[in-house]
Structure 1
């Protein structure tokens, strides 16, 4: 059995914020798998099976800073080790459009992950980190993560969510290393336009004839 925890804040005012990108992934994953959300222990829960594997998907309803309260009950009830857990989170320190899977490590300032580590007493679980970028200069990071996505970010956001769902499915069916190999190169940032070819000759090259 696998447990997937998507981090976010409850309430319609937070639904379209950067901090709730994990919930976007969870909602799309549940939709694709035909799973129905129901009230659980400090969380909304949805269940499905994939290639014989039972998966419990949860969205904590505790607000971000107390996410561990929603994670511990299912781990204890199903007698799961932290290695059976994947946390889907926003990542302030990664550029928007970057997707990265990792195992263990510190919380990096993400308060939901911080609380899960505190409650479990362990950093040994997988994370799917979705970059939301640092705020522009002079803007408070706490306000930035609670800000809504801009209209010109929507297409990249939709694609990032789509790929995050695929990465999660790969983690369920093939494990972390396979998911990392398939999706850790994901970077949806726009590429710079190539510089126009120069009319000047390269060093040591004779000028072209008119």
Structure 2
């Protein structure tokens, strides 16, 4: 059976729950809600397992805080003996319009500290990342307030549909493969 590690990046704690920076957690929570899954706190994160079409998806929400996500990713890849090409990291992206999604097989951290730590721990930039656009609608010097801010009323109106699209991308990643998933979902 093929195994995949799907990592949603975010920060633990109630005060971060509905912030833009926590979109990785929010997407995994949506999948868990749809499939009636429950996360359990284990080493370095909250984990649940989802079986779909002969695949096993291990969903991980690291509890190491965003900037130290690499430790949890490395631990669970090793523990579950999951190959690097079966890793998918879900993160927010300031450079994409709100709600747009982009799957990439490699790339820079783009100034994202969670990705920077994962890259450092894995010693490679060649891992799959799913970037969810949060836009860059903030004034100069307000980036931290923006990413740690809550979604706007307008964003919340279309959030459910974007979350469902994101869940579909995860399922496609594990069943159809990264190339077909990129063709089907990027820019949608």
TM-score between the two structures when normalised by the length of structure 2: 0.95
Q: 2:175 pairs with 173, 176, 184, which one?
A: 173
Partners of 1:70 and 1:142 in 2: how far apart? 24
Would the aligned equivalents of 2:105 and 2:129 in 1 still touch at CA under 8 Å? yes
Larger Cα-atom Rg: 1
**Structure 1 segments (4+ residues) deviating >3 Å:** none
Q: Which residue number in structure 1 is paired with residue 25 of structure 2?
A: 23
Partners of 1:179 and 1:33 in 2: how far apart? 21
1:138 counterpart = 2:156:
no
**CA offsets, 1:96-136, max 9 Å, x none?**
12111111111101111111110011111111110001132
Q: 1:191-202 alignment to 2 at 5 Å? A: none
Higher helix proportion (structure 1 or 2): 2
1:93 Cα deviation (Å)? 1.1
Q: Secondary structure at the match of 1:156?
A: helix
Partners of 1:33 and 1:49 in 2: how far apart? 10
Q: 1:183-194 alignment to 2 at 5 Å? A: 183-186=185-188
Q: Which residue number in structure 1 is paired with residue 98 of structure 2?
A: 96
1:39 Cα deviation (Å)? 1.0
Partners of 1:80 and 1:168 in 2: how far apart? 16
Q: Which residue number in structure 1 is paired with residue 117 of structure 2?
A: 115
Would the aligned equivalents of 2:98 and 2:155 in 1 still touch at CA under 8 Å? no
Structure 2 gaps of 5+ residues are none
1:80 counterpart = 2:68:
no
Q: Which residue number in structure 2 is paired with residue 37 of structure 1?
A: 39
Matched pairs, number = 186
Partners of 1:177 and 1:46 in 2: how far apart? 26
1:13 counterpart = 2:10:
no
**CA offsets, 1:34-84, max 9 Å, x none?**
322101111000001111111100001111000011111111112222111
Q: Secondary structure at the match of 2:108?
A: coil
Q: Secondary structure at the match of 1:9?
A: coil
Structure 1 gaps of 5+ residues are 187-210
RMSD over aligned CA atoms reads 1.1
Q: Which residue number in structure 2 is paired with residue 59 of structure 1?
A: 61
**CA offsets, 1:138-160, max 9 Å, x none?**
35111110001111211222221
